Amino acid sequence: MDAILSAVLVLGFLAVLLFVVLRARVAREYAEFSLAKRSLPLALIFASLCATYIGPGFSMGFVGRGFQVGLVFLYVGLAYSVQNILVGFFIAPRLRSLADCHTLGDALGQKYNRTCHVLTGVISVGVCAGLAAVMAHAAGRVVEHVFDIPLGRAAVLVAAVAAVYTSLGGLKTSIMTDALQFAVFSVLLSTLFLFALVRDSGGGTAAFSRELATATAAGFQSMPTVEILGWIAGFLLGETLIPPYANRALATQSSQASRNAFILAGVFSFLWFTIMISLGAVARTVVPAATPRDDVLLSFVQMTMPVGGRVLLLIALISVIMSSLDALMNAGAVVFTQDVVKPLTRLSDRASLTCGRGATLGIAVVAAAGAAAVPEIITGLLICYTVWAPAILPAAVFGLWLKKPRAPAGLASMLVGTTVAVGLQIIEYKSPGALTIPPILPALAASLVAYALGHVLAGSLERRSWRP
């Protein structure tokens, strides 16, 4: 009976997902595939932003961290919320106002030069592929848990499904499915929290308060201040303007809609993190203490929910992870086409669309292949954040705000930031614990210094060249 119910729920969800995909239509033009012709309203962009970030890292990952360190990780989440709000006020409207701009690479190409454009594209594709591998790993773990399919095969299955509908429909399909998955998952997981909080076993709210205080105290004792600061820096800066978010900022109907979508998403993210951390504390009353962090939410659902609710919630969890995965696939494909291929060769609209679809499938293959190498969801995210922030953010922020950004500064910042970040990650991988501070901090500092030196030296050369 349980197997029949599970099959019915799975098939029902897939039918609804297929209906949404068909409703969104197959993309017939590159402008439709990449930015949905810049026609998307505030509500869809807001829901898509939320669906993209409430994937595995900010659901499974945060529940696991709340289980282990309580409210300590809520401060990390708050940094991410602040980042979204700041992007909404100061960056997204400026990005949206640029003409003929499909990606962040297009923007940096306009502000600096073609070399910066292509380099931004190469870094962006690499980060998208890395983050997609994290999402495929997380989705694979859920499928493995629910249907007893080995992790490698489960990751391939999820990546293949996401790649098919994303490559056909492009950004509009991705965003419409994201909105559906966000609505279902946010309601179901919030309901799970309320259900768990009022249940009789475990002492209800009294047990929750006690376990939250215990986990928080243990968290402050086990995590050095510099480690907490590193996590905060990673979540404050690591996802700022990553390709899926930049594409959504550019796809809105107006600069005002772009600004408001990010601000609302930032406010919602704080509420979401509070619920996830609280779920982790509630889980301490029933889940064994030795449970791996990434498995806490899955174990908690398995132990507390009736069969129908459990299967439905786990299917929703898979779908919301796919929201993050399809967003990364689409963004990476658009970046590859727009920032790597098109600056080097001329493509017709049809060829651009074909290139984008092919790149979507390519990123899916990389994600499925790399899923098994991901150590842990939050750790995998932080590795990608550590590369993205130093490599791109100084050049992007200064490029959008300075009246006359200089190309050598942007290029130096990207090269130095990427080199230092990757080098420190290699050191940390070969000798765990060898670094006394989180790699993102020195890498970001090096990137900022390189930008400042490049800006000053380029300005000095310009002044000399204008002397009579």
Average pLDDT along the chain, 468 residues, taken 10 residues at a time: 56 62 58 69 84 76 89 88 92 86 90 94 95 88 76 85 75 68 71 64 67 87 84 85 86 88 92 87 86 85 73 71 81 92 88 89 93 86 91 94 92 96 90 83 95 91 64
Residue 259 lies in a domain: yes
| Alpha-carbon gap, residue 116 to 113, rounded angstroms | 6
The CATH number covering residue 118 comes to 1.20.1730.10
318 near 233, Cβ under 8 Å? no
Please report which helix (H) or strand (E) contains residue 4, including its range. helix 2-24
Output the pLDDT for position 438: 86
Q: Residue 414 has what pLDDT?
A: 97
- Report yes or no on 432 lying in a domain: no
Q: What is the pLDDT of residue 365?
A: 94
Per-residue three-class SS string for 17-77: HHHHHHHHCCCCCHHHHHHHHHCECHHHHHHHHHHHHCCCHHHHHHHHHHHHHCCHHHHHH
pTM: 0.84
Question: Domain containing 185: what range?
Answer: 2-385
Asked if the structure places residue 463 within a domain, the reply is no
So what's the pLDDT on residue 347? 85
Structure tokens at 427: 């050191």
Q: What residues have CB less than 8 Å from 191, skipping those under 6 apart?
A: none
* Domain total in the chain: 1
Q: For residue 404, tell me if it sits in a domain.
A: no
Q: List the one residue out of 149, 141, 151, 147 whose CA is nearest residue 3.
A: 147
* CA dihedral angle for residue 63, residue 65, residue 70, residue 76, rounded to 10 degrees: -100
Residue 293 included in any domain: yes
Look at residue 266 and give its three-state secondary structure.
helix
Q: Of 457, 324, 447, nearest to 51 (Cα)? A: 324
Domain annotation covers residue 235:
yes
Domain membership of residue 468 (yes or no) is: no
Q: Are 328 and 128 in contact (CB under 8 A)?
A: yes
Residue 299 lies in a domain: yes
